[in-house]
A and B are shown apart, each in its own frame.
Chain A
Amino acid sequence: MTKIIKSNISLDEPLEKRELEKAISEKEKKLNTLIEKIEQLKIDLTIVKQEYDVKVGRLYLKLDELDLEILKFKKIEDLINKGLSFEEAQKIVEETLRKRREQIKEEYKKLGEEEKEIESRKSISEEEKEELKKLWYKLAHKYHPDKASGNEEMMKKINKAYTEGDLETLRVIDQGEIGNGVEVKTIKALKNKLERLEKSINKISQEFEQLKKSEWYILKENIKKAKKQKRDILSELADKVLSDIAKKENQVGELKKKYGQR
């Protein structure tokens, strides 16, 4: 009896292995497709965010600066009403607002960096764009954190290079890549691999759904929809904020006049 059972196992084992390998191959394909989809979406959303920040975000920051300027005069007025001189009041208020002014400066700096990325993307040729995309796909498949050979830090570097149009960095990473090594193919190892793949597929699918709920996705879809109607909603929004800026600039102008342009 024992012998027969043993014999069955040895007959079934290759079959089970083949079936597991087939399932793994299918899951790997599915995972690769999902990785391409999600990483592409992340990059698309980064680009939408950068364009929004440069076209509109910059204007909102300007609005913040003006609001802060108006607030400065109002707070100075409060202190003058309490008996302080303009100079004394200004000194106190400037100190109170210093931290926030520094934050706005930092935000401008970040916007400047995004602007540079947009410029460097524009400056590469069509052939280079094609090579960039091919290299990115290849490296994203290898280094995606949900793959066995994954590396989160490397993936961030790859995506950053792609959004910046930095072909050289992708080439260097590609040349330096190390082989996969030898894989042990016992039934237990295959089952574990299959389980890991299923988990990764679930995780990425969920992440993908979350991204589709993000404000940048909403914006991306609406930009696309508006484009079909030959509208540029970012420019429309920028015009609206610009008109708010003009009003606030007037208000600041009046306040400056009131305090003798001090």
Chain B
Amino acid sequence: MDKDRQIQKIPKYSIDKIVAKSALATRGLRELGLLKDKKHFTIIYVCQFCGRLINYSSTPCIFCGNFPKTKREVIIAQALSSESMEIDSLLAISKAVKDDEDLEITIANLRNLIDEILENPSEFKNYPPLFKLTELLLNNPDTDDRAEEVTSKTKMFCDRCGNEVILANKPCFYCTVGKNEGDKKLENNLTPLQKNIIALNGFLLFAENYLDFSNDKDATTELIFVSIYALNRLLEKDELPNMDLKKYWRDLLLRSEYFGSEKTLNAGIEIDSTGKPSIVMGSEKDKVSSKALNEMIRLVENILYFLKS
């Protein structure tokens, strides 16, 4: 087995549903070479510092601005990638980082891999260029400024209440929900670029924090990959998604059809044949929390904007 792809397990992750991925099964299938055909739109990584899903492993994270600064961190960055593990494992790692868990315990063979590469770097050809890149970034006086410039674009706050703006095309969520009619007439003055960033970021945050089921898992997985790519382009190059990319995103959303969070929120969204999303909440009224409702409103509003813009 390719040593660079040794990490393939997240022991803490297991789902009872038969259609769901199982870490143990995935490891066996990978070992048997039965997962080789699954190619995605791009390669994604989990940022080891903030837990967000990102597009590049060695450059500053678009959300927190951190980047691997030591050889050990470079090796971890490579390990937490879609080349090494399935989306379920990546999402589990994303949560583990956000929960401040020790990744060496979450991925028990990670430490061994790090030591092995550090002891025999010549056996792992991918790493020396990455170590070099890290060195270049560390020595570049512009790195921090550039990182700050990019990360500041993901942080937008309401002028009125100071909370983070979470709805792409509606007035501030915190200033309007549960408030009187006058407040609801507030305006959303964001630029199309900012709105697109909020919409995609909202979708990705939902995927990272809550997603645990989908009618078409492959389509929803691909939707996550495409969203990360598009968000990255928006932040790094100020580039709005083109029509082809939007069409592809919409098709994947249609194919996903019904997805959401069974375990945490007890809610999902259903996409009808025209692409219109609607919220489906858990059947028992007392189980519907305001948190779940707020998260679903955020998701639907942001999807709606991204589809229409």
Any chain B CB within 8 A of the CB of A97? Answer: yes
Q: Is the CB of A49 within 8 A of B25?
A: yes
Q: Is A53 in contact with B24, judged by CB distance below 8 angstroms?
A: yes
Q: Mark A88-117, 1 if CB is under 8 A from B, else 0.
A: 000000001100100110010000000000
Find out whether the CB atom of A219 lies under 8 angstroms from the CB atom of B11.
no
Q: Are B18 and A216 in contact (CB under 8 A)?
A: yes
Interface string of B107-139 (1 = CB under 8 A from A): 011011001000000000000000000000000
B112 closest partner in A (C-beta): A70
Identify which of B174-182, B212-220, B234-242 touches chain A: B212-220
Contact A71 B104 (CB under 8 A): yes
Name the residue among A61, A215, A241 with the largest chain B CB count within 10 angstroms.
Answer: A215
A42 touches B108 (CB 8 A): no
Q: Are B34 and A218 in contact (CB under 8 A)?
A: yes
B34 touching A222, Cβ below 8 Å = yes
Point out the residues of chain B lying under 8 angstroms from A42, CB to CB. 18
Q: How far is the CB of B188 from chain A (nearest CB, A)?
A: 37
CB <8 Å contact, B12 and A218 = no
Is B243 interfacial (CB 8 A cutoff)? no
Task: State whether the Cβ of A74 lies closer than 8 Å to any Cβ in chain B.
Answer: yes
Interface of chain A residues 29 through 84 with chain B (CB within 8 A) = 42, 45-46, 49, 52-53, 56-57, 60-61, 64, 67-68, 70-71, 74-75
Q: Are B28 and A104 in contact (CB under 8 A)?
A: no
A247 to chain B, nearest CB (A): 11
Task: Let me know if A215 and B108 touch, CB within 8 A.
Answer: no
**Separation of A57 and B9 alpha carbons in the complex (Å):** 12
In the complex, chain B residues whose CB is within 8 Å of the CB of A149: none
Residues of B within 8 Å of A56, CB to CB, are 24, 28
Q: Please tell me if the beta carbons of A104 and B11 are within 8 angstroms of each other in the complex.
A: yes
Given A74-B111, A240-B31, answer yes or no on A215-B11 (Cβ-Cβ < 8 Å).
Answer: no
Does any Cβ of A come within 8 Å of B105's Cβ? yes
Q: Are A57 and B31 in contact (CB under 8 A)?
A: no
Please give me the residue from chain B that is nearest to A70 by CB atom: B112
Chain A residues, Cβ within 8 Å of B104: 71, 75
B105 touches A222 (CB 8 A): no
| Segment at the interface with B among A123-131, A167-175, A206-214 | A206-214
CB-defined contacts of B14 to chain A, threshold 8 Å: 107
- A side interface size, CB within 8 A: 37
Q: Which residue of B lies closest to A221 (CB)?
A: B34
A103-B19 in contact (CB<8A): no
Instruction: Tell me, yes or no, whether B98 is within 8 Å of chain A by CB.
Output: no
* B25:A100 contact, CB within 8 angstroms: no
A148 sits at the interface (CB 8 A): no
In whole angstroms, what is the CA distance A215 to B108 when docked?
23
Q: A97-B105, A107-B14 are in contact. Are A57 and B24 (CB under 8 A)?
A: yes
Contact in complex: B25, A233 (CB < 8 Å): no
Whether a CB of chain A sits under 8 angstroms from the CB of B142 is no
Interchain CA distance A112-B26 in the complex, whole Å: 20
State whether A210 and B215 are in contact (beta carbons under 8 Å apart), knowing that A46-B18, A215-B26 are contacts in the complex. yes
B161 close to chain A: CB less than 8 A: no
In the bound complex, do residue A219 and residue B28 qualify as a contact, i.e. CB atoms below 8 Å apart?
A: yes
Closest approach, in angstroms, between the C-beta of B27 and any C-beta of chain A? 6
* 28 residue pairs A–B, Cβ–Cβ below 8 Å: A42-B18, A52-B28, A56-B24, A56-B28, A57-B28, A64-B11, A67-B108, A71-B105, A100-B11, A100-B12, A100-B105, A103-B12, A104-B11, A206-B215, A210-B19, A210-B215, A210-B216, A211-B19, A214-B18, A215-B25, A215-B34, A216-B25, A219-B34, A222-B34, A233-B32, A237-B32, A240-B31, A241-B31
Taking Cβ atoms with an 8 Å cutoff, the residues of A that contact B are 42, 45-46, 49, 52-53, 56-57, 60-61, 64, 67-68, 70-71, 74-75, 96-97, 100, 103-104, 107, 206, 210-211, 213-216, 218-219, 222, 233, 237, 240-241
